[in-house]
Structure 1
């Protein structure tokens, strides 16, 4: 089992379109270890509530073609 759920806020500079938002949100919402997530295109931030380690989240974003860093 995973640990406690934490909310992360991640800056993703190259998340610029509605397609980016949809791609990121759909990829993470499929994961049972993600409670909720959303992308804000105006601030280019991704908020996620999960018990996954932050490095796993960043690695998954990179697999999708996005480079992010936790803020």
Structure 2
């Protein structure tokens, strides 16, 4: 089971949404911001992912989860 499967299994009605305009790529390094939440509150959780890609495969992933306002 992957980390994504585990998170989605705990939050069945939540969905990830990439924030429009946040995706950036440069020399195999990718950065984007996202929301995670149910359809009635899709911005429940937010964060950023930083990914390094080599030979078409993810070599590293760093995830920052933003502090909730609540």
TM-score, normalization: structure 2?
0.28
TM-score, normalization: structure 1?
0.28
Higher helix share: 1
